[in-house]
Structure 1
């Protein structure tokens, strides 16, 4: 029988609190393992296949490497989910109670640490940044729900603008890692790089100019394009034609890319509904998010380019410092497509760049296994919140947890956790598990009476 204890712990079985669909700890772990394995296979099978095609990997990669990479990532995700429920039960049996840190944080930390060691080293950093991103947003949501702070209007846009300013300052100086430099060259063009840093990005040029090449076949576009090419260009500008052409070309290219990418995502999501509702295709292609992402990317490129050109015309000189102002103003294009995920990811990647710059100058120590530590702690924190207050998780991440565990995360009896956190059952206040009464005499009335 479950008995609610002191405010710092609850006394109940792991069946009554956690794996309410089965009284067996072993069966619960095996059940979660099987479900997560199937979902991980779908996720990583699709991810690596699509990525391999987009990156134009050769036949050797698909024959010799892709299965190994998929298997390694599947093992990582399966271990993370399975070991969490296993350690959840183990700590309960060791301590006899569910204490606040051992309810989820410690089991999740041990499971995450074990899992990340199975993943490829090249992916650990990306996973660490992603989970740090989720953990930061979760902490922010927790503070808002507790009334500890008020929402910051356009806070994600401001954060993105500040990060963009610093990024593009280093971009103009040419002081960025090659991968980051390549990504920004694709977004805003390589013309603002120092001359010594410029080089062709053939794959990016080919894909990004497809839309422009098609437009050039249109006679009206040809007339406008030729007129834009003849507009004035400052002598210090490194682009080929007039400044107006430089700005408009950047906008059209990135708007088209954003529209096509978001439209493709919406179209894939609509595929299961096409048979019953053919109109879902048109709705997916006309979705306003397609225009918003296009406007975000297009305006980002256009504003960055126009501000740099304008400052060269006004000051009659060129300077890397222009990247700060141009990047900051360009960042406000996120008003078209607000995303805390993009803002936080950009900020964390910037922190990583600055950290390694500090290491190279002897300002910061090099911390071995930092990606493993960050991932383990961030994931443990997020899982802890998923158990005690899932209403404060990013909705998309909560949906992901439900999907990857076959909805098992929603079957926890969070009514029993209310002594630890009064709003633990807020996400589903009326939910009560369908217990096998041979293994418990816990009832809803019992809990309500004791609380």
Structure 2
């Protein structure tokens, strides 16, 4: 509603209908005012989510113009680097209370991020691994539940879909549930297994071993590639690093930073929804169209073809 209001307001204030006013600036203003409805604790989460969506849209727009090239398995490499650095930050600062940190501690094991126990006066009794049970049991036990959880949730989503209602047994042998299970279970197995190997090889606990284990664990995304999750992990890493630097006084704390980031992301999102909907994720374009009451689909994009946007390709039957 605010987006439509600011389109009309800017058109009345300027006296003409400009492309930037009707798309980017209207989305910028509507996003800035709408974020204040949310609780302050949720604004940072929403701003990171919006940056995640916008970065994907901007990349698709640049790729459609042949300005960037897609790297094979780029989302896997991005996720591996982001996960390794994120887990390393968690090992250095065990007091991080971000929701993603809580999920990763629960998934990978809280004991993997604790400092090594005090050796005392006797060094003969020091064990490189301080988890309960053997290393193989520790790895297998930790990866079994994530594998079953990922497999079950993905299979259930397939069962709820329209395509497999007539043959529901296909959901049990579909590639997607197995890939999701291997992704989650493999990530935990690679992380815990590599940590145990490095601890026994070096004879002691070190934070860099968490970094190496996170890099190997991130490669498990090859079983179920997900660019959205890779981008989200990358932006969460940027958020954690910036917050740590701000606490140490290395970078300034920007007033209303999450609100301005959300507004900027909304401006880019709504601008792309009008002039370049073909560069958006189809599911999200459908969501925005439903939120606006089918208004985005009713925009006449054919006059914009002269500007080279090719925006009428997604709705060619406007007339």
State the TM-score, normalized to the length of structure 2: 0.90
- Name the CA shift for 1:86/1:323 in 2 (closer, same or farther; >3 Å): same
Name the residue aligned to 1:188. 108
Which of the numbers 142, 161, 174 marks the counterpart of 1:250?
Answer: 142
Structure 2 residue 131 is the aligned partner of structure 1 residue 239 = yes
The one-character-per-residue Cα deviations of 1:50-100 (angstroms, maximum 9, x if unpaired) are: xxxxxxxxxxxxxxxxxxxxxxxxxxxxxxxx1111222232333343323
State the distance in 1 between where 2:224 and 2:210 align. 22
Note the C-alpha offset of 1:358. Answer: 0.4
State the distance in 2 between where 1:262 and 1:294 align. 8
Specify every segment of 5 or more residues in structure 1 that has no aligned partner in the other structure, as ranges: 1-81, 198-233, 433-451
Note the C-alpha offset of 1:239. Answer: 1.6
State the distance in 2 between where 1:366 and 1:298 align. 38
Specify every segment of 5 or more residues in structure 2 that has no aligned partner in the other structure, as ranges: 118-125
Pairing 1:35-434 to 2, within 5 Å after superposition: 82-179=1-98, 180-195=100-115, 235-270=127-162, 279-432=166-319
Name the residue aligned to 1:71. none
State the distance in 1 between where 2:217 and 2:208 align. 14
State the distance in 2 between where 1:178 and 1:404 align. 33
The one-character-per-residue Cα deviations of 1:119-153 (angstroms, maximum 9, x if unpaired) are: 22122111111111000000000110000011111
- Name the CA shift for 1:389/1:158 in 2 (closer, same or farther; >3 Å): same
Q: What secondary structure is seen at the aligned counterpart in 2 of 1:362? A: coil
Equivalenced residues, count: 310
Q: Say which one has the larger Rg.
A: 1
State the distance in 1 between where 2:165 and 2:269 align. 39
The one-character-per-residue Cα deviations of 1:345-373 (angstroms, maximum 9, x if unpaired) are: 11111111111110111101111211110
Note the C-alpha offset of 1:167. Answer: 1.3
State the distance in 1 between where 2:75 and 2:138 align. 29
Note the C-alpha offset of 1:281. Answer: 3.7
Name the residue aligned to 1:68. none
State the distance in 2 between where 1:428 and 1:350 align. 37
State the TM-score, normalized to the length of structure 1: 0.65
Greater relative contact order: 1 or 2 (C-alpha under 8 angstroms, separation 6 or more)?
2
Is this contact kept in 2: 1:237–1:312, CA < 8 A? yes
Note the C-alpha offset of 1:280. Answer: 4.9
State the distance in 2 between where 1:341 and 1:347 align. 10
Root-mean-square deviation (Å): 2.1
